[in-house]
Structure 1
């Protein structure tokens, strides 16, 4: 759990060997390049677009061939065109099948018929109309030959014989268009299209053997593009060129070994106060799920701290408190175990999400046992599970204390880390003030709840509040104090810090949702159980079926709502309340100049 220490790299090399040096630097894969000049590449279509489209198309094929490098020596460009031709033809056939289906649906009420030759019917044509059942009387005014060929719950299906299309005066209805093909002919065309679709699907499946070469070609294309972009970012001066970037301290031995093999020299410099290095979070896969949440929302600044592990464990706890049912947690855990192997690729996003899900569900099982809820059922008195039921969701005062206590501890952790980051600054004393103030106020509230004859000034925790006021008022800014004006500005900053009390109060109360949502889910589960039992006992025939339907759909709905609440509100408490107090400044991600899949510094 850390932010990687960065060192500024300045590298100077021989222009004649520029491409080889840049290619070697890309192979090293450890430097975040800094743009030294504005020279963007010419705009235009990306050459890799066709490869991306072809790979995406083949990857979504239901049945794929095994990964291989085909012996066929055709140019890859030709293969890509064949893949895309298959894609476009398949899309066209699917569109034709859908249009045919709609046409047959429209034509079905009129029946299966073929149009006769015009000469056979005195050059008259058939005109088709749908007549609402309530407007049957309109047909009495029609002078042209007509016939109702079908009717349903809504319409009469009318055929009129006329040389020209009847006007609105002739027939005050909107004409229906049936097309020139008969129903049987449309069915035959539909069958032909299905056969063509099967042929294209078989060809698509055969083309999936090119997935590996296409993926490798895409990686090479993107690597080459980044190499060209890097070439445009360096400075050229006659026989030498220069580039700058940031490199993790852990990668310096590899850099030293590589530079010894090329005609180049480099200089390293520690970042100064005015520098803004990129943020590189270093976390193991075990707790890396927290890093994914942090990276998705907002990266901390380089000089801040990495909250990934704190968010990993606190998010797991919040999810458990909101789910509040061991039965639901075990059910979700079984689904996770069924997909465990698929999510076990080392270094991938899947394994990090898998480990986070395991921590969330493990915490949920433990918390569910503590509150004694198993699909909304409480274990019977005297059982082993009943002895483990030490928390009562219906004990509102106790659950309020627990929820608010979790919130206070969570915010205290944020202030503690800010204190450590600012340990060489006066700002650390303001964080210390908040730690004393929050903990003191919470303990003072607990004292008030436990004491019948409570007197504010007699509580030892009351004196935490003046200490908080003094520290926050005088230390909320690190501006130098050299004059009366500086003192006044310092106090203005302090007043702004003190006014944060209302925000702190609101943030602590936000943690009440942990108790409220957990109680709501448990109540819904118990309600569905009662409804199911009532339905079973009150219906003599089919009672068990009603019982099963209510249990399945009721608990399914409750489980979905609990998962959504746990994820949304768990993230909110971490990334809103906690983040606002614990993270100062926003960083930007470290992006190593590296070949695809060849750098451990890119996540």
Structure 2
């Protein structure tokens, strides 16, 4: 309670969730400060296979996150026909997920996989119901006009989640490097100092990176797919304000 009153209840709850998830992931991967004391159910190391798995997991998290945002919009728009547009984008995002896996992970993408069907179905709904109108030509025309930029945005949004893998990989490399450096010392007090300083620094950097990238993914990619609009005031650094003094 004392810590919660100092940093705020919301931030305290966030730290508790982050700590719990970190412990669960550490136990699942068997990684504790760069050491692997037992054979984990999800083996993670610095091999190419592990990097591929982490990238795949990051893209999967991204597709789930973004498609949930589009489905959220669909619920808000229902029963307006624009809810079909949002469902279409949710399906299209999963199709783009397949495109990203093809380009980044060299996985196949053909008619035996679900990705082309998701792209076609999603694009049809996204174009056809972007601006519902009694005039079908106008409706399809407006949908086609808005589609290219939104399509590129969907691709970049999904691939942006690779930063999750990069943060985890950087933290793992630092942990292993500090362990190798410390254990290579023959003077044990210096070994303890290097371990405490190195892992403390690594934890601090990991927390900063985690919150920074988490905020970015929520404020930009997720909010964009949620249709959230941010308001504020215009940036005018050279604006001169003139104040008038009223004399009695």
Shorter-chain TM-score: which interval? 0.7 to 0.9
Structure 1 residues 586, 568: closer, same or farther in 2, change over 3 A? closer
CA separation in 1, counterparts of 2:125 and 2:138? 16
Q: What are the equivalent positions in structure 2 for 1:227-246 lying under 5 Å apart?
A: none
Q: What are the equivalent positions in structure 2 for 1:469-508 lying under 5 Å apart?
A: 469-478=123-132, 480-482=133-135, 487-488=137-138, 490-508=140-158
Structure 1 residues 440, 455: closer, same or farther in 2, change over 3 A? closer
CA separation in 2, counterparts of 1:357 and 1:474? 44
Q: What are the equivalent positions in structure 2 for 1:203-352 lying under 5 Å apart?
A: 341-344=1-4, 350-352=8-10
Q: Does 1:397 align with 2:52?
A: yes
SS at match of 2:86: helix
Deviations 1:473-517 (A, max 9, x none): 121124x334x7xx3365234421342111111111111111111
Out of 11, 22, 26, the residue aligned to residue 353 of structure 1 is 11
Structure 1 residues 465, 561: closer, same or farther in 2, change over 3 A? same
> TM-score, normalised on structure 1?
0.35
For structure 1, the residue ranges without an aligned partner over 5 or more in a row are 1-340, 537-542, 589-603
SS at match of 2:33: coil
Structure 1 residues 509, 461: closer, same or farther in 2, change over 3 A? closer
Task: Point out which structure has higher relative CO (alpha carbons under 8 A, 6+ apart).
Answer: 1
Deviation at 1:343, TM superposition (A): 4.1
The structure carrying a bigger helix percent of its residues is 2
Name the residue aligned to 1:545. 189
Q: Does 1:415 align with 2:70?
A: yes
Name the residue aligned to 2:171. 521
Name the residue aligned to 2:241. none
Size of the alignment, in residue pairs?
Answer: 228
Structure 1 residues 583, 488: closer, same or farther in 2, change over 3 A? closer
Q: Does 1:364 align with 2:16?
A: no
Q: Which has the larger radius of gyration?
A: 1
> TM-score, normalised on structure 2?
0.81
Out of 566, 569, 585, the residue aligned to residue 210 of structure 2 is 566
Please say if residues 73 and 227 of structure 2, whose CA atoms lie closer than 8 Å, have aligned partners that are also in contact.
Answer: yes
Structure 1 residues 504, 443: closer, same or farther in 2, change over 3 A? closer
The structure carrying a bigger strand percent of its residues is 1
Deviations 1:504-547 (A, max 9, x none): 111111111111111111110110110111122xxxxxx12221
For structure 2, the residue ranges without an aligned partner over 5 or more in a row are 233-248
Runs of 4+ in 1 over 4 A off after TM superposition: 443-451
